[in-house]
Amino acid sequence: MFGYLLYKIVCNIVGFLYPAYASFKVIKVNDTKSTLPWLIYWIVMAFFTLGEGIADSLIFWFPFYYEIKILFILWLILPQTQGAAYLYYNYIDPTLTYHEKEIDSTLGTAQEKAKNTGRYGLATLQELVTNGLIKGQQIIKAERAN
């Protein structure tokens, strides 16, 4: 329990709050060289967060699990270790580059399906509202006629 609470505090401050503020500061400078490490960090953190959701449900019982996660986040963010850059350049970049066309195609298809579903949903909603208003008017006319 203590490990989990400590993890949440450290993760939120060191893993999200500090990097968000540092990213904010770097954007103001408008220097690509300074921005790149933070972009890399956020990409790695996105994959970590995705994996964390799966791992938490499977191995939360492992001794010192949350403490290990704290060390991992520190390893990612500390400039002395450059863990995020290591993971990005050695694993994430090559994997995404290899699968980039497939990912782009899948995302394009998903976007198109989402647009079509949204259009269909709006058309259905519009039809339901229109029919409801027409029926409501008919009921009002029928009551006034009596």
86 belongs to a structural domain: no
Tell me the pLDDT of the chain averaged across its residues: 92
111 belongs to a structural domain: no
Three-state SS across the chain? CHHHHHHHHHHHHHHHHHHHHHHHHHHHHCCHHHHHHHHHHHHHHHHHHHHHHHHHHHHCCCCCHHHHHHHHHHHHHCCCCCHHHHHHHHHHHHHHHHHHHHHHHHHHHHHHHHHHHHHHHHHHHHHHHHHHHHHHHHHHHHHHHC
Residue 100 has pLDDT above 70, yes or no: yes
Q: How many domains does the chain have?
A: 1
Residue 87 has pLDDT above 90, yes or no: yes
41 belongs to a structural domain: yes
Q: Give me the mean pLDDT over the 23-43 stretch.
A: 91
129 belongs to a structural domain: no
Overall pTM surpassing 0.85 (yes/no): no
Residue 1 has pLDDT above 70, yes or no: no
Would you state the pLDDT for residue 62? 82
130 belongs to a structural domain: no
Range of the domain at 24: 2-81
122 belongs to a structural domain: no
